[in-house]
Amino acid sequence: MAKRQYESLLLFTLGAYGDQSGGGGGGEDKEVCLLAWQVLDIANMQLASDVGQLVVCPDSSGSGYTSKGQNSEDGIPLSTALEKIEAVFSEQSNCCLATNGSIALRQILVPEINRKLQEPLPSFLSQFFDLQKELAKRSNNEFQPHNLVELCECLGVDCPPNDVSGAEEIPIMAKAAQKMLVQGHVFESPETVQQSYSHTNQVNPDNVCDGCVVRLRGLPFSADHNDIALFLSGLNIIPGGVVFSINPVGRRTGEAIVVLEGEDQAQFALQRDRHYLHQRYVEVYEASPDNFFQFCDTTGSSEKVFTVRMQGLPYRATESDIMEFFQPEAPVSNEADGILIVRYPDGKASGDAFAVFSSEAHVEEALKKHRNNLMGRYIEVFHSSLKEFLVVLNKSGTPEQLDRFAYLNTESGGGGGGGRGGGGGGSGGASKRGGSEKNCVKLRGLPWEATPEDVISFFGDLNRSIEQQGIHMVLNAQSRPTGDCFVQMTSVDAATRAANELHRQNIGRRYIEVFQVSGNDVTYALMDTGGGSRPGGGHAYYGGGGGNKRKKVSSAVVKARGLPFNTKEYDLVDFFADFNVDESDIELIYNHNGRSTGVAYINFQSLNDARQAVRDLNHKYIGHRYIELSLNQ
């Protein structure tokens, strides 16, 4: 940020319910109960106001603060308190906020505003000076205070007692700031608080630093970049610093890598481990720049083609309907030919679609259509990537769709329409699978009910070295599993490691034999069984003509009752996320008028999974309704 000479500081602190240490780590279990401030005139080094404080009423209902202007005997609503401080701030000339540390602001107040009030941040919170960091900056990091006591000790100011908090901090902060001014310190480069995430496909590698990267796990599969920004609100994410993980079958894995602006903010993010995003707790781990660039390589964060994914479409919606939905602000590339409607193997629309755009600006306009109506239904619009688009295209695309979008395979690096060359997408996919290099492995002895997702889990950390669309389950002439599977790896070394580390490891109670083989071995074996990726695409990750549906087991079906009437298949995919259910496993029941009955049947991979789902999730909530689950007899 450009340097600027400020004329006054708004010294600011807060108190929070559930906060016994003047800050704490997360903020999710804390509520603001007090806001305090005082104005310091920088030019005259004098205080320009008395200490002000406002008591904030608690959110006892759990559903948000009292409406604006409504007082409580315990205080005033947070929104009203913020308006009052904003008025004080606006009266000052060239003023900036100043705090003692950044925890209270970044970890408590800003997240609470975004989580509960869902309003834009007041302008006085958009940037601030952290007195502790300002002292460290002035002393070239000779002094690095971590609290108010250490700040005063470094400056030679009378130290407060250790238990000082709330409005009592303000006069001490004022003395510390005045002492810094007397010593010649200039307040000129404040920290900023990010108002919104800036998505871009062009990431500056210099901004991806050690100690600034975290991994999120357990995200809802429908989560987009804005959801990540909400979960990490108060923290600054670098432009393009969110990238989602996509598995070799083309589905989001519920993981993302996020790059923060500094190490301290990455530490704040780690303190949000197991906090909730849309009723699901999210695990937060340390990660590395290498992890970020590996995810970029998998999802295609630097392509020149820009895409969005849509969910909740009416089943009768056509490409032209979707094109008109985005016009005129976001023209789709090639008009209706730039729309991919995702269909099930039986040809029925899934309610999902992708749209291709020629610029990031058009994508941003398209995202503004999120929750707009099409044919009486609100439509969800999310960021996507070229690689995700191609994986879905090659998994479920019709011959006509594969031909129509063939030019995008060239954009992704040629031939291998499934991301990094993993099957499908014309002859390039076939040639990628062939060859004498032993960059593949053969699995033998799989349980008959094993799915590609089971194979991915079996590979553990090695699954990042599986080619997209690179899992080939071998079926016999009756379209029954043979227990064999071929897996294409990204390199010979990865295949060697898989064969060495996974041979005779177990899936369930069965040990699996793993052998290193060549691409030619895979091609010949799949040709012999009538399976594999036929030239021109198709279901590349499934060997044989069995399609991509799981084998349905009548005794492994769960009945769900009491669903919200607007529930869609992907809502239930999220609800049953721990059980590897996909949309093709779900049957929503409608009455003769085509209206939802609130009932659905869900197929599980095993009876044990079905029973476990009933035990774990019966009477859990979707939205504001609890769901009754029972084994379907």
Q: Residue 282 pLDDT > 80, yes or no?
A: yes
Tell whether 149 and 257 lie within a shared domain: no
Among 299, 320, 344, identify where a domain stops.
299
Binned at pLDDT 50, 70 and 90, residue 176 comes out as: very high
Strand-strand pairing, 52-55 and 31-41: antiparallel
Tell whether 186 and 229 lie within a shared domain: no
State the average pLDDT over residues 367-392. 85
Tell whether 156 and 278 lie within a shared domain: no
* Domain-embedded: residue 407: no
Binned at pLDDT 50, 70 and 90, residue 371 comes out as: confident
Q: Residue 69 pLDDT > 60, yes or no?
A: no
Tell whether 159 and 88 lie within a shared domain: yes
* Domain-embedded: residue 412: no
Binned at pLDDT 50, 70 and 90, residue 410 comes out as: low
Residue 45 in 3-state DSSP? coil
State the average pLDDT over residues 342-348. 78
pLDDT mean across residues, the chain: 80
DSSP secondary structure, 535-568, as one string:
TT-SSTTEESSSTTPPPP-GGGEEEEES--TT--
Tell whether 215 and 319 lie within a shared domain: no
Question: Which pLDDT tens digit goes with each residue over 144-156?
Answer: 898 899 999 999 9
Strand-strand pairing, 275-277 and 280-286: antiparallel
Longest dimension (CA), the chain: 89
For residues 411 and 91, what is the distance between their CA atoms, to the nearest angstrom?
A: 54
73 versus 416: which is more confidently predicted?
Answer: 73
Of all residues in the chain, what percent carry a pLDDT higher than 70?
Answer: 80
Question: Which pLDDT tens digit goes with each residue over 312-329?
Answer: 898 889 999 999 999 999
CB contact at 8 A, 522 and 532: yes
Instruction: Give the structural domain span for 370.
Output: 306-384
Binned at pLDDT 50, 70 and 90, residue 402 comes out as: confident
Tell whether 99 and 177 lie within a shared domain: yes
Binned at pLDDT 50, 70 and 90, residue 549 comes out as: very low
For residues 585 and 604, what is the distance between their CA atoms, to the nearest angstrom?
A: 7
pLDDT at 247: 63
CB contact at 8 A, 308 and 354: yes
pLDDT at 532: 36
State the average pLDDT over residues 555-575. 84
User: Which region among 68-77, 261-270, 348-357 has the lowest average model confidence (pLDDT)?
Assistant: 68-77
- Start-to-end CA span in the chain (Å): 65
Among 523, 543, 563, identify where a domain stops.
543
Torsion of CA 486, 492, 494, 499, to 10 degrees: 60
Bridge partners (DSSP) of residue 217 are 255, 283
Q: Residue 397 pLDDT > 60, yes or no?
A: yes
CB contact at 8 A, 257 and 291: yes
Torsion of CA 235, 239, 245, 249, to 10 degrees: 150
State the average pLDDT over residues 395-408. 79
pLDDT at 59: 67
Number of domains in the chain: 5
State the average pLDDT over residues 368-391. 85
pLDDT at 527: 55
* Domain-embedded: residue 405: no
Q: What angle do CA 229, 231, 232 make, to 5 degrees?
A: 65
pLDDT at 215: 95
Residues 6+ apart with CB under 8 A from 44: none
pLDDT at 537: 29
State the average pLDDT over residues 443-472. 84
* Domain-embedded: residue 458: yes
Q: Residue 414 pLDDT > 50, yes or no?
A: no
Binned at pLDDT 50, 70 and 90, residue 468 comes out as: low
- Which CATH number covers residue 170? 3.30.420.10
Q: Residue 476 pLDDT > 80, yes or no?
A: no
Long-range CB pairs of 408-416, under 8 A, 24+ apart, other chains included: 408/305, 408/356, 411/303, 411/304, 411/305, 411/386, 412/300, 412/303, 412/386, 412/387, 416/467, 416/468, 416/469
Tell whether 127 and 245 lie within a shared domain: no
Among 241, 272, 299, identify where a domain stops.
299
pLDDT at 436: 73
* Domain-embedded: residue 622: yes
For residues 607 and 241, what is the distance between their CA atoms, to the nearest angstrom?
A: 41
pLDDT at 108: 94
Please return the burial class of 619, using the count of CB atoms within 10 Å of its CB with bins 0-12, 13-18 and 19+. exposed
Binned at pLDDT 50, 70 and 90, residue 98 comes out as: very high
Strand-strand pairing, 8-17 and 95-99: parallel
Tell whether 166 and 253 lie within a shared domain: no
Q: How many CA atoms lie within 13 A of 438 on its CB side?
A: 12
Q: Residue 186 pLDDT > 60, yes or no?
A: yes
261 versus 384: which is more confidently predicted?
Answer: 261
pLDDT at 528: 52
Tell whether 254 and 344 lie within a shared domain: no
For residues 51 and 172, what is the distance between their CA atoms, to the nearest angstrom?
A: 11
Tell whether 594 and 520 lie within a shared domain: no
pLDDT at 555: 59
Tell whether 243 and 334 lie within a shared domain: no
Q: Residue 70 pLDDT > 60, yes or no?
A: no
**pTM greater than the 0.75 cutoff:** no
Question: Which pLDDT tens digit goes with each residue over 232-271?
Answer: 999 999 998 998 887 655 567 788 999 999 999 999 999 9
For residues 116 and 60, what is the distance between their CA atoms, to the nearest angstrom?
A: 13
Q: Residue 24 pLDDT > 90, yes or no?
A: no
Question: Which pLDDT tens digit goes with each residue over 283-312?
Answer: 999 999 988 887 776 555 545 678 998 988
- Which CATH number covers residue 531? 3.30.70.330
CB contact at 8 A, 313 and 352: yes
Tell me the C-alpha to C-alpha distance, in Å, between residue 312 and each of 315, 350, 394, 484, 487. 9, 9, 21, 36, 33
* Domain-embedded: residue 418: no
Q: Find, among 5, 31, 32, 22, the residue nearest to 173 by Cα.
A: 22
* Domain-embedded: residue 397: no
* Domain-embedded: residue 419: no
Binned at pLDDT 50, 70 and 90, residue 64 comes out as: very low
Tell whether 245 and 178 lie within a shared domain: no
CB contact at 8 A, 21 and 146: no
